């Protein structure tokens, strides 16, 4: 098996099963939990960088205020995404969280049109239209906009767009983001800890262990994802990424017991249809491109 596939399944598998981890921390308020996640991620990432002796990138950022601002913005977006996700899981909205990551690729496609002035082919427009119809159907059936799903999808799509224009890789970029958040996160974490109900003030070592684990559980999937992206075609990574929201969907229905009425399922089906059109078209175009390149190489003298 291609090692890239193993890295991809590890990354998206961890992200897909993350609600099981958050369930162990249900007693910790979302904002406090996000502060812990950011702080312990920073500790873990600095440890990895020290082990690899990879610090040269910090010097490369001198005299580049645009990159500092870019990563400050991506850090805030990542925090918003984490906060909404933690809230969704602790509030019993795992299905809405999975919906957000199902529609995220199509939101990214739409951002490419609006921001990067990319042109979509008819099949891609059909995929976006089916996803929009699914969100509209869920809004009409539920009597409210599925804001959790939309916030997760939009925040992560914009985050991905910003990171695409950044100059750092996954490890260095996440380290810089957590470093930029540290002046906000660390005082907030101290304040939470000094409160009578603070997570680390309870003296519960099992709970503390789960909190410390948030560092590697945040950083490792990103590193696995970066390793997979270097070894696999983009179309393959795009298909494997649906493992994450699929696992979340199954957890929401079969483990967390969230209701899935037929009317609500119809909205998910519309979005899945859009993803099928989008993924199938991407796979078809990839095959055509590979075949064209193969023919061109045969024609070379």
pLDDT of amino acid 80? 92
Tens of pLDDT, residue by residue over 163-199, are 777 778 878 888 999 999 999 999 999 999 888 888 8
> To 10 degrees, what angle do helices 205-231 and 170-194 make?
160
Q: Is the pLDDT of residue 268 over 90?
A: no
Residue 123 confidence (pLDDT): 83
How would you label 248-286 residue by residue, b for 16+ Cβ within 10 Å and e otherwise? bbebbbeebebeeeeebeebbebbbbbbebbbebbeeee
Structure-token pair, residue 86? 């933690």
Predicted local confidence at residue 57, as pLDDT: 86
* 81 pLDDT more than 80: yes
Instruction: Kindly report, residue by residue over 205-225, the tens digit of the pLDDT.
Output: 888 999 999 999 988 988 888
Do 32 and 198 touch, CB atoms closer than 8 A? yes
Assign 299 a pLDDT band (cuts: 50, 70, 90). low
Tokens of 83: 């906060």
Which pLDDT value is given to residue 287? 77
- Range with the largest mean pLDDT of 89-98, 142-151, 193-202: 89-98
Q: Measure the CA angle with vertex 165, ends 161 and 168; round to 5°.
A: 115
Residue 44 has pLDDT above 90, yes or no: yes
Measured between alpha carbons, how far is 281 from 284 in angstroms, rounded to an integer? 5
Nearest to 115 by CA among 80, 75, 149, 160: 160
16: which 2 tokens? 């897909």
Asked whether the predicted pLDDT for residue 154 surpasses 80, the reply is yes
Q: What is the largest CA-CA distance in the chain?
A: 77
* Residues 233-254: tens digit of each pLDDT: 666 776 788 888 889 999 998 8
Query: What is the rounded average pLDDT for all residues in the chain?
Result: 85
49-53, 219-223, 291-295: which has the highest mean pLDDT?
A: 49-53
């Amino acid at each position: 098996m291609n090692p890239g596939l193993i890295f991809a399944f590890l990354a998206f598998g961890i992200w897909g099963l993350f609600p099981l981890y958050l369930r162990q921390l249900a007693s910790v308020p979302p904002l406090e939990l996000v502060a812990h996640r950011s702080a312990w991620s920073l500790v873990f990432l600095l440890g990895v960088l020290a082990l690899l002796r990879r610090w040269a990138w910090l010097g490369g950022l001198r005299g580049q205020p645009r990159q500092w601002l870019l990563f400050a913005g991506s850090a805030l977006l990542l925090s918003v995404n984490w906060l909404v996700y933690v809230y969704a899981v602790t509030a019993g909205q795992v299905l809405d969280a999975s919906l957000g990551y199902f529609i995220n690729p199509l939101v990214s496609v739409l951002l490419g049109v609006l921001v990067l002035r990319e042109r979509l082919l008819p099949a891609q427009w059909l995929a976006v239209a089916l996803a929009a119809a699914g969100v509209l159907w869920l809004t009409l059936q539920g009597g409210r906009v599925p804001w959790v799903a939309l916030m997760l999808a939009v925040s992560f799509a914009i985050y991905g767009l910003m990171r695409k224009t950044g100059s750092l890789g996954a490890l260095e970029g996440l380290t810089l983001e957590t470093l930029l958040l540290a002046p906000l996160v660390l005082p907030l974490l101290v304040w939470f800890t000094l409160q009578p109900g603070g997570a680390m003030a309870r003296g519960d070592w099992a709970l503390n262990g789960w909190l410390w684990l948030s560092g590697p559980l945040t950083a490792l999937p990103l590193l696995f994802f970066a390793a997979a992206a270097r070894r696999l075609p983009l179309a393959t990574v795009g298909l494997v990424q649906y493992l994450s929201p699929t696992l979340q969907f199954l957890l929401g229905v079969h483990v967390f017991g969230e209701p899935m009425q037929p009317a609500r399922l119809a909205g998910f089906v519309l979005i899945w249809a859009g993803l099928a059109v989008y993924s199938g078209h991407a796979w078809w175009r990839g095959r055509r491109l590979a075949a064209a390149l193969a023919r061109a190489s045969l024609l070379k003298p």
